[in-house]
Amino acid sequence: MVNVTDVLKVDDLRRVCGVLLDMVEERFGAEIDLASVGVDLYWNVDLETAFDLRDVPGSGIDVGQCGDDVAELHALLRRPADPVPTLWHDLQHLAGVLRLLAYLDLPGVNASES
């Protein structure tokens, strides 16, 4: 349960991302060849289902794709600032990439040897 005094500071989140991405770069290098990783598809729980714990999530589970996540993030970097941002959409693709990085660091996955 979230305490009403808990606060997520965007600046703290930005700093944590920097620290973790520095560690990712140290572990895997400045570029990760997705073709050598050996995974592309993953199970995904849609946002509404993920945060609604009243029901079993069966119908809210679908398949995400790492290649699509990376392509969407590249597109984000190329597109002009959108007056109506799709923050929820772009953050889901970022989350997919971050989950891939977490997966690659699991013991036994050996992505650093790929």
22-45 confidence digits (pLDDT tens): 999 999 999 999 999 999 999 999
The token pair at 72 is: 């969407």
Confidence of residue 114 (pLDDT cuts 50, 70, 90): very low
- How far apart CA 26 and CA 56 sit, in angstroms, is 39
Q: How much is the pTM?
A: 0.85
- How far apart CA 90 and CA 96 sit, in angstroms, is 10
